[in-house]
Structure 1
Amino acid sequence: MKQVVTFGEIMMRLSPPLNYRIPQASSLEITYGGGDANVGAALVHLGMPAAHVGCFPDNAVGHAAVQAFRAHGVDMSHCVFRGERLGLYFLEVGASLRASRIVYDRYNSAFANLQPEWFNWDDILKNAQWLHWTGITPAISASAAQATREAIQAARRLGIMVSADVNYRRNLWQYGQKAQDVMPELVAGCDMVVCTEGDAADLFGIKADEGAENSFVSMSEKLIERFPQIKQVIATKRKTQSASHERIKGMAYVNGAYYQTLYFDINPVVDRIGGGDSFISGYIYGQQHYPAVEEALTFATAASALKHTIHGDVNLVTAAEVEHIMAGNTTGRLLR
């Protein structure tokens, strides 16, 4: 089976134990993650081969980040070691009424300073069936945006599926180019996108028709009309009860038809970081293993729900465990 290739920054995550606040902490737990790489690692645990492409400092911290994803089984052979620092983020896990908080420290990272010519995409993608990226990657720097552009162009030449989580992060776009000027060209090369109504409005000026019966469908129709390469639009919808209690469902607009799942109830939430990445990896897996869109979407949403019960950025679940939840086994009864 050919690989799914992801491209983006991996950061060190530093988090106080339990639900401590950062000022209370006398120690911090270290894990590693990134929106794109999390997708690849989750796919490996589901049983699909994946490779990640990134840039890391050539020091103990950079090599530790790469090794963390090698330990998941991700092919990291196309990563580049140049630059001086690995991006960091600090996560304070909330509870009940207190929301979780993230503080980023990623300025001037090795990934932000990468040069597009360091990556031979025709070679990187020669054993690939799918390329996945997120809107975070081109937001980091102009050179990262150009590398993303070249990756998509190579994938199109090679006839490889391309997907993106458009994931608009306004505060990341600080290098002089606007997301609204960069993202349309990149998204135009995608076959599948994860896009909410809010992201469509912010990035592309696309808004659902006023009074539309289903705003997601209305937005998706307009998105596909503007970007005809896109064949599938997917997203999750949340009903957040508290920092410790989430309800999520999956939505998809495919070939002119709308699909949705039932809500999955997650209580308590252990760690919601990576929930969206797990949804995407679940949908990619589902596309390869289920004949019906409904099944792929349900698999993706169940995978995302399970991620909320697991510490760290990566969804450490097997396909069998996701299918167990799909079958309605949601009581958490002890398995022997």
Structure 2
Amino acid sequence: MRTIMKHRVITFGEIMLRLATPDYLRICQSNQFNATFGGGEANVSVSLANYGIETEFVTRLPENDLARACVMDLRKYGVGTSHIVYGGERLGIYFLETGAVARPSKVTYDRAHSSISTIQPGMVNWEEVFKDATWFHWTGITPALSEGAAAVCLEAIRVANRMGITVSCDLNYRKNLWNYGKTASQVMPELVAGCDVILGNEEDAEKVFGIKPEGFDVAHTGGNVQADAFRSVCTQLMTRFPRAKKVIITLRGSINANHNTWGGVLYADGKLYESRRYDITHIVDRVGGGDSFMGGLIYGLLTYTGNDQKALDFATAASCLKHTIYGDFNQVSVEEVEKLMSGDGSGRVAR
């Protein structure tokens, strides 16, 4: 049953200019880039706005034309931007080289000294931001940017906890970002302790907390990821973070850069729910796949009240569709996701 209620979801993190080579070219081959915007938490906000959920994306941006173009892009998708704070030197950039077959995709960051990396506690009025909010979402990318960003993230989590707002996180471990003197294992536990919903992929829990699935090598999936192997990951995370009510693991089997299997599990109240497994044979763009899953999951948990299986199924189907869409943002509707959930993946022309 879909519950029609008014919800307001807040996300906090960095949005960047994305410069991607066209037509599977390597960076050294290309003399042009396709320019779009993207970033984990902003991607979640766009997904939710597409589903009719009121969203607000909080970040820090410089006062220049690139930042103005970025805000205009977010507003185009219906994402709220009224609590963005301004200052700092620059908008971060990431370069994307899309892989093919045995050659993996490659991301090169140019985000040092970005505006959000110099954010400090007190710059955001979280009590005002969270007024009438239902949900707050952050990812492990944000505290990896700087000590200040980590402190502001913790500040937001504590205010949300105090105000009774559901808090979710995507562990999103990025080893190349943790370079300001502290490790993810030092910073993340205090942040995750304030979360009600925890999402990770098959490697995040191991890289951040040393929690491994029993009898399974996450580094070599061969396209075959056994869902039940991750029950132990879920229970270990819940034991370590007792506030968490739900733990979700996305299951990506990588056959090659263009062909993945995709699914997920959700653990709540002692029960493990498993999604359908999708075979995605012609990936258009997998960047933002996890964010599209999180956006679908938040929508499902807010609207399919009490039906964790349906929420998981919606998240998995939404993310499956994202793999067919260019750019960071998942530009699909509830109707399209529910159509795939019902088993219609034919791709026939809609007339």
Q: Quick check: TM above 0.5?
A: yes
Amino acid at match of 1:278: S
**Kept in 1: contact 2:200–2:250 (CA 8 A):** no
- 1:225 aligned to which of 233, 239, 246: 239
Matches for 1:234-253 after TM superposition, within 5 Å: 234-253=248-267
Matches for 1:202-221 after TM superposition, within 5 Å: 202-209=207-214, 214-221=228-235
Greater shift, 182-191 or 219-228, is seen at 219-228
Q: Which residue of 2 aligns with 1:269?
A: 283
Q: Secondary structure at the match of 2:63?
A: coil
**Kept in 2: contact 1:302–1:326 (CA 8 A):** yes
Q: Which residue of 2 aligns with 1:12?
A: 17
Summarize deviations over 1:39-60 as a string: whole Å, max 9, x none: 0111000111110000111100
Find the aligned partners of 1:288 and 1:177 in 2 and give their Cα distance.
35
| Residue 33, structure 1, aligned to residue 33, structure 2 | no
Q: Secondary structure at the match of 1:89?
A: strand
Find the aligned partners of 2:279 and 2:42 in 1 and give their Cα distance.
26
Matches for 1:49-198 after TM superposition, within 5 Å: 49-196=54-201, 198=203
Find the aligned partners of 1:116 and 1:163 in 2 and give their Cα distance.
20
Q: Secondary structure at the match of 1:103?
A: strand
**Kept in 2: contact 1:196–1:216 (CA 8 A):** no
**Kept in 1: contact 2:12–2:138 (CA 8 A):** yes
Q: Which residue of 1 aligns with 2:322?
A: 307
Q: Which runs of 5 or more residues in structure 1 are unaligned?
A: none
The structural deviation recorded for 1:263 is: 0.9
Q: Secondary structure at the match of 2:88?
A: coil
Task: Please report the TM-score for the alignment, with normalisation by the length of structure 2.
Answer: 0.92
Find the aligned partners of 1:56 and 1:192 in 2 and give their Cα distance.
28
Q: Which residue of 2 aligns with 1:322?
A: 337
Find the aligned partners of 1:200 and 1:239 in 2 and give their Cα distance.
17
Q: Secondary structure at the match of 1:23?
A: coil
Find the aligned partners of 2:58 and 2:130 in 1 and give their Cα distance.
10
Find the aligned partners of 2:348 and 2:112 in 1 and give their Cα distance.
45
The structural deviation recorded for 1:207 is: 3.5
Find the aligned partners of 2:169 and 2:246 in 1 and give their Cα distance.
11
Find the aligned partners of 2:201 and 2:253 in 1 and give their Cα distance.
14
Find the aligned partners of 1:99 and 1:205 in 2 and give their Cα distance.
25
Greater shift, 298-307 or 61-70, is seen at 61-70
Amino acid at match of 1:180: S
Amino acid at match of 2:243: Q
Find the aligned partners of 2:207 and 2:270 in 1 and give their Cα distance.
24
The structural deviation recorded for 1:96 is: 2.2
Q: Secondary structure at the match of 2:122?
A: helix
Find the aligned partners of 1:241 and 1:197 in 2 and give their Cα distance.
15
Question: How many equivalent residue pairs?
Answer: 336
Q: Secondary structure at the match of 2:95?
A: strand
Find the aligned partners of 1:195 and 1:101 in 2 and give their Cα distance.
21
Greater shift, 187-196 or 315-324, is seen at 187-196
Q: Secondary structure at the match of 2:251?
A: strand
Summarize deviations over 1:151-176 as a string: whole Å, max 9, x none: 00010011000000011112211111
Summarize deviations over 1:187-239 as a string: whole Å, max 9, x none: 00000011245322322233445699933111211211111100101121112
Find the aligned partners of 1:246 and 1:208 in 2 and give their Cα distance.
20
Find the aligned partners of 1:60 and 1:67 in 2 and give their Cα distance.
10
Q: Which residue of 2 aligns with 1:47?
A: 52
Q: Secondary structure at the match of 2:17?
A: strand
CA RMSD, 1 decimal: 1.5
Are the structure 2 counterparts of residues 93 and 196 from structure 1 closer, same or farther at C-alpha, using a change threshold of 3 Å?
Answer: closer
Find the aligned partners of 1:302 and 1:331 in 2 and give their Cα distance.
14
